[in-house]
A and B are shown apart, each in its own frame.
Chain A
C-alpha cells in the first residue's frame, strides 16, 4: 500500500488548522470601524418610520398634514410618493416599501419622515393620523388554511405546496414493528444581530443614488431597489458598509429603499438607524413551523418510513420562505436512510411578521422533529439512541430523500462514531435509560 500523503494525514493544509487573523479585526478592537449608524455626512437628515402596529386592515387614509408642519421636517412620504413599483421581495415582489392598499403585518411601514434631527422626525411620526379599517387577522396555520379566510395577497394564503415521494409508503408502514406519531411546533425567532438595521443614502453629482448599508448582498439589493424606485440599474449603487451581524436577515432589503426614497425626494443625505425595538418588530425572522410526523422502524432497528406534513408560516411576505420551507421537507428525514417517504410542505401567508433566511435555512426546524422521532423510536425499540442513529445514518452508497447518492457518505457516520468513542473513553451515558 502506498503511503498516505493526503493533507489530512500530513497536516500540510495551507489554511486549515492555522490561526488566521481577520484583516478588519484590529480596527474593530480599536473602536475605529464605522458602521452606518456611526457615520455622519454634512447636511444629513435623520429618518424615522411609522410602523403599522396592526396586523391586517384596509388603509382608508393617511393624514400627514400636521406631521409636515413640525419644525425641522424636510419630508413626510407615503406610498403615493413612491415613483416606482413600490414592491420588493427576494422570491416574488410581494412586499411594499410603503403599505398602499392594505396593511398586511404589524411590521409594515406606512410612512417615512426625514428631519433635521431625530427628535423632530419622531415628533412628526407621532402626528401622522392613520385611518385603518380592520380585517380579520390571519395569525395561525389553521387561519391560513381556512378557505373562508380573506386572502392576504391575490392568489390565496397557500403560496406553495411541495412534495417529497420515495419508495412505497404502504409497504413501509406494513413492514414496521414500531410507529411513533407526533406534532412538533417551532417558534418564530429574531436573529438579533447586535447592530440594528441602518442605512445612509445620498444622490451624488452624477445623479446616482448611493446607499450605504450593512447588507449581505449588495447586488441583489440593487435589483430590488431600482424597480421599486423607478431607477435604471446603473443609477443605484449599494455600498456594503461594515455589517454588525446578519445571520441571514440582512439578505433581505432592510433600510435601503426607505433611505433611498427619502434621499431622492429631499436631495439631501439621509440616515436611518433602527432602534432595537424596531429591529424586533420589522424585517425577517426565522420561520415558525408545525410538523406532523409519523415514522416507523423494524425490530432490527432499521427505519421503514416517514409520513409527514410541514406547515411554514412565512408571514406577510415570502422573502425566501418558499425555499426555506421546501428545504425543511427535503431534510425531513435528516441524515438517515429512509426507504419510503411521503412529505408535503406548505408555505403559508399570514399577517405575522415576514420570515426569511436564518442560519440553517429550514433544516433546523426539521431537525427538531426528526431527531425527536429518532429518540422515541430508539426508546421504543430498546436501543441506544446512538446505536440506532449509527445503524440508520446515510453511509456511502445510500441515497438521500431526493435520490442524491452519497458517494462518500455525508460525514455523519464518522461523527457519530467519534461521539461513541468519546463517550466510552469518558464513561458517559445517556441520561434516559432505554426501555
Chain B
C-alpha cells in the first residue's frame, strides 16, 4: 500500500508517496527526479546508485524507502550545490576519469565519502573505497589519480 514518506535529501525535507518495498534509488530517480544516481544493475553489484546515508556510502538500490526515513541522504546533485564543482568532480574531469560517465556519479560519491572521513588516503585506501564501483570504460587508473589529486587539493585548502 502506498504511504507517505518525508525524506531528508540534500539538506531539504521532501515529501513523497511510495510503496514500502520501493528502493530509495527508485524514489530518488522517479519521484524526486534526482537522476544523477544511476541504475546499472538494481542488485547491489555495480555501485552506480551510490549515495550517502548519514555520511556513509550505500548502494541506494538496496535501501528500502522506510529505512531512509530519519537519515541524512546526500546525492551527487548536492556536491556542486553552490555552483562550484567539488574537487573530486573537477579532478575527475581534469585527470580523464570520466568516459561514458555512467559510473561517474556513484564513483564520485564513494570518493567523496572517503575524503570526508580520511582527507589523506593512500592509493590503497582509494582503491578500497571505490572497490564497490564498477567502471567498464576507464580501467580505474585515472580515477585513482583523480581522487589522489582531489585529496591533495582539499589538503592544501585546509592547511
Give the interface of A toward B (CB within 8 A).
Answer: 19, 21-22, 24-26, 28-35, 37-38, 40, 191-196, 242-247, 275-276
Contacts A194-B135, A195-B40; A29 near B35 (Cβ below 8 A)? no
User: For B85, what are the chain A residues with a Cβ–Cβ distance below 8 Å?
Assistant: 26, 29-30
The A-B contact count (CB < 8 A) is 103
User: For A21, what are the chain B residues with a Cβ–Cβ distance below 8 Å?
Assistant: 93-94, 96
User: In whole Å, how far is B139's beta carbon from the nearest beta carbon of chain A?
Assistant: 13
CB pairs A–B below 8 angstroms (24 shown): A21-B93, A22-B99, A25-B92, A25-B101, A26-B89, A28-B101, A28-B105, A29-B90, A29-B101, A31-B76, A31-B108, A33-B101, A34-B35, A35-B38, A38-B38, A193-B100, A194-B40, A194-B135, A195-B100, A244-B38, A244-B102, A245-B102, A275-B42, A276-B41
CB pair A25–B48 under 8 Å, yes or no, is: no
CB pair B100–A194 under 8 Å, yes or no, is: yes
CB pair B92–A195 under 8 Å, yes or no, is: no
User: In whole Å, how far is A113's beta carbon from the nearest beta carbon of chain B?
Assistant: 19
Contacts A29-B104, A31-B37; A194 near B42 (Cβ below 8 A)? no
CB pair B42–A29 under 8 Å, yes or no, is: no
Closest to A35 in B: B102
CB pair A276–B42 under 8 Å, yes or no, is: yes
User: For B29, what are the chain A residues with a Cβ–Cβ distance below 8 Å?
Assistant: 38
CB pair B136–A245 under 8 Å, yes or no, is: yes
Assembly CA distance A34 to B94 (angstroms) = 21
Contacts A194-B40, A194-B48, A194-B135; A38 near B35 (Cβ below 8 A)? yes
User: In whole Å, how far is B112's beta carbon from the nearest beta carbon of chain A?
Assistant: 11
For the complex of A and B, 3 pairs with smallest distance between CB atoms = A31-B36, A28-B101, A244-B102
Assembly CA distance A32 to B105 (angstroms) = 9
Given contact pairs A196-B39, A247-B136, A276-B45, a sample of 17 additional A-B residue pairs in the complex whose CB atoms are under 8 Å apart? A22-B99, A25-B98, A29-B108, A30-B80, A30-B85, A31-B79, A34-B35, A37-B39, A191-B136, A192-B136, A194-B46, A194-B48, A194-B137, A242-B101, A243-B100, A244-B38, A245-B137
CB pair B98–A195 under 8 Å, yes or no, is: no
Instruction: Among A19, A29, A30, A32, find the residue whose CB has the most chain B CB atoms closer than 10 A.
Output: A29
Interface of A is mostly: loop
Assembly CA distance A40 to B35 (angstroms) = 10
Assembly CA distance A275 to B40 (angstroms) = 8
Find B134's partner among A29, A191, A194 (CB 8 Å cutoff). Answer: A194
Assembly CA distance A246 to B102 (angstroms) = 11
User: For A19, what are the chain B residues with a Cβ–Cβ distance below 8 Å?
Assistant: 94, 96
User: In whole Å, how far is A273's beta carbon from the nearest beta carbon of chain B?
Assistant: 8
User: For B103, what are the chain A residues with a Cβ–Cβ distance below 8 Å?
Assistant: 194
Closest to B39 in A: A37
Find A245's partner among B42, B90, B100 (CB 8 Å cutoff). Answer: B100
Assembly CA distance A256 to B76 (angstroms) = 30
Assembly CA distance A29 to B143 (angstroms) = 12
Assembly CA distance A278 to B76 (angstroms) = 27
User: For B80, what are the chain A residues with a Cβ–Cβ distance below 8 Å?
Assistant: 30
Assembly CA distance A28 to B45 (angstroms) = 21
CB pair A29–B38 under 8 Å, yes or no, is: no
User: In whole Å, how far is B27's beta carbon from the nearest beta carbon of chain A?
Assistant: 14
Closest to B47 in A: A194
Query: Is residue B77 within 8 Å, beta carbon to beta carbon, of the partner chain?
Result: yes
User: In whole Å, how far is B52's beta carbon from the nearest beta carbon of chain A?
Assistant: 13
Closest to B37 in A: A31
Closest to A39 in B: B35
Assembly CA distance A278 to B19 (angstroms) = 24
Find A32's partner among B36, B93, B108 (CB 8 Å cutoff). Answer: B36
User: For B89, what are the chain A residues with a Cβ–Cβ distance below 8 Å?
Assistant: 26, 29-30
User: In whole Å, how far is B1's beta carbon from the nearest beta carbon of chain A?
Assistant: 14
Query: Is residue B15 within 8 Å, beta carbon to beta carbon, of the partner chain?
Result: no
A-contact bits for B115-150, CB 8 A (1 contact / 0 none): 000000000000000000011110000000000000
Assembly CA distance A242 to B104 (angstroms) = 13
Assembly CA distance A242 to B137 (angstroms) = 14
Closest to A40 in B: B33
User: For A192, what are the chain B residues with a Cβ–Cβ distance below 8 Å?
Assistant: 136
CB pair A29–B40 under 8 Å, yes or no, is: no
Assembly CA distance A32 to B92 (angstroms) = 15
Find A195's partner among B37, B45, B90, B102 (CB 8 Å cutoff). Answer: B102
CB pair B98–A28 under 8 Å, yes or no, is: yes
Assembly CA distance A37 to B42 (angstroms) = 13
Assembly CA distance A196 to B136 (angstroms) = 12
Instruction: Among B33, B102, B136, find the residue whose CB has the most chain A CB atoms closer than 10 A.
Output: B102
Query: Is residue B153 within 8 Å, beta carbon to beta carbon, of the partner chain?
Result: no
Closest to A193 in B: B136
CB pair B93–A26 under 8 Å, yes or no, is: yes
Instruction: Among B39, B89, B105, B134, find the residue whose CB has the most chain A CB atoms closer than 10 A.
Output: B39
User: For A34, what are the chain B residues with a Cβ–Cβ distance below 8 Å?
Assistant: 35
User: For B60, what are the chain A residues with a Cβ–Cβ distance below 8 Å?
Assistant: none
Closest to B26 in A: A118
Query: Is residue B43 within 8 Å, beta carbon to beta carbon, of the partner chain?
Result: yes
Assembly CA distance A267 to B77 (angstroms) = 34
Which residues 70-84 in B have Cβ within 8 Å of A in the complex? 75-77, 79-80
CB pair A24–B101 under 8 Å, yes or no, is: yes
Closest to B88 in A: A29
Assembly CA distance A28 to B135 (angstroms) = 14
Assembly CA distance A35 to B40 (angstroms) = 12
